[in-house]
Each structure stands twice: as structure tokens, then as C-alpha cells.
Amino acid sequence: MSKKIIIRLVLFVALLSLNMNMRAVGGIEDDEVFPADSTRTAIFSEDAYFASINMLKKELELAPNDELLLSELGELQVKLRLMEDAFLTYSRLIRVNPRNYDACLFLGYNYYVKGKNLLQVEDERYKQIEKPKKIQYTVYLDNIKKVLDRDYKLALQYLSIATSITPVNFVQNVVKEMQHRMLNPTLFQEITK
């Protein structure tokens, strides 16, 4: 049996056992169905994800470089919006397989969003200066170049790998946007005085 099937079975058993525990604790009958907007369903789902995360972490203690386990763990962490944990998991996965599509896509997009937010802050900060002087423009340009050299460069690296594996229009458009901004770093003309 393949490792992926085993992991899916483990996750299924975790969900099933949590369901049975909820029935025992909550007095839920076998034929009763959880409504889609039920609080119990939301709690159940979150508990199931956390139980699955814990199981995957235990499996990773035995096989720390298992690509499939790391990928599943990262996916569950994203579903629970544990973005810092997912970032660490996908960073670890990149060290195991530098061409892992999910890891490249996640890390690339995160560096892109971080860089884009930092660029917007710098652009807004500079826009608020009524009569900028050359030194202020130089500081602005330096801050922009730092973001482009750090965050956008990493984002471009990861997203380029992802698009070489599976071309997706949205990702290709993000790559083009980053390349354009790297070629045209500032939104403002240079101050000469």
C-alpha cells in the first residue's frame, strides 16, 4: 500500500474516531446529521484537523524528511490558518525537495504578499512628503530596493519553479507583475535637487 493511501487512512480514522467520540459525549444518534452551519461541526472539523496535525508530527519524528508527510502537514496548517507553522513546514519541505510544487507556490506567494505590502507602505510613506528632498528620495529608493532584493527575489525564485512545474495563469501574472516592478522600482521620478 502506498504511503499516500496510508496517510489518508490515518486521517480518515482520526475523523471517524472524533465523530464517534462526539456522538458518545453529545448523545447524538446514528441517524442524526450535523447541519452545515452547526457550531458542533465547526468544532469537530477543527478538532479533527488538530488531531491529524498531531499524528503527522509524530510520524515526522520517525521520518523527518518524508516529503508526503510534510506536504500534508503544511496543507492542514494552511486550512487552520496557522500560517507561521505552515511557512516553517513548507521551508522544511523545500530543503527536502527544492522542486516541490506546493512548497514553492506557498513560499513564493507569501514572499510576494509580504513584499507587496512593504512596497505599498514605502510608496504611501513617500507620497505623504509634500516637497521631498533628494535625501528623502534616496532613502525611499534604498528601502524599495531592499524589499525587491529580498522578498521579491525569493518570491520570483519560488514562483518561477512552480510555474515551470505546472503553468497557472494567476501565478504567471504575479511573476510578470514582480518582474515589472523590479525593472521599474519606484513609482516616482528621481529628485535632482
| 147/84 same-domain check | no
Domain annotation covers residue 149: yes
Is 170 among the domain residues?
Answer: yes
Is pTM, for the whole model, over 0.75? no
- Assess whether 18 and 57 both reside in one domain: yes
Question: How high is the pLDDT of residue 47?
Answer: 78
Residues 29 and 62 reside in one and the same domain: yes
Q: pLDDT band for position 11 (50/70/90)?
A: low
Ranking 14-23, 58-67, 80-89, 170-179 by mean pLDDT, the lowest is: 14-23
- Average pLDDT value for residue range 160-171: 90
In-domain check, residue 13? yes
- Does the pLDDT at position 58 exceed 60? yes
Domain assignment present for 193? no
Task: Give pLDDT tens digits for 93-146.
Answer: 999 999 999 999 999 999 999 999 999 999 999 999 988 898 999 999 999 999
Mean of pLDDT over the chain = 80
Task: Indicate whether 77 and 123 sit together in one domain.
Answer: no
Q: Is 81 left (phi over 0), alpha (psi -120 to 50) or beta?
A: left
Tell me if residue 57 falls in helix, strand or coil: helix
Helix (H, G, I), strand (E, B) or coil at 63: coil
Mean pLDDT, residues 28-57 taken together:
60
In this structure, the answer to whether residues 124 and 57 fall within a common structural domain is no
Asked if residue 190 belongs to a domain, the reply is: no
In a shared domain, residues 92 and 108 = no
Domains: count for the chain? 2
With a pLDDT cut of 70, the percent of the chain lying above it is: 74
Binned at pLDDT 50, 70 and 90, residue 154 comes out as: very high
The DSSP annotation for 73-123 comes to HHHHHHHTT-HHHHHHHHHHHHHH-TT-HHHHHHHHHHHHHHHHHHHHHHH
Q: Could you tell me if residue 41 is inside a domain?
A: yes
Q: What is the per-residue pLDDT for 165? A: 92
Quote the pLDDT of residue 67: 93
CA dihedral sign, ordered 78, 80, 81, 85:
negative
Are residues 117 and 72 part of one domain? Answer: no
C-alpha distances (whole Å) from 67 to each of 1, 92, 114 are 17, 9, 26
Structural domain of 170: 104-183
Distance of CA 6 to the CA centre of its chain: 25
From CA 69, how far away is CA 53, in angstroms rounded? 10
| Domain boundary pick from 96, 129, 160 | 96
111: in domain: yes
* Domain shared by 78 and 136, yes or no: no
- 127 in a structural domain: yes
- pLDDT given for residue 95 in this prediction: 96
* pLDDT bracket for residue 181 (50, 70, 90): confident
Mark whether 9 and 25 lie in a shared domain: yes
Q: Residue 38 corresponds to which amino acid? A: S
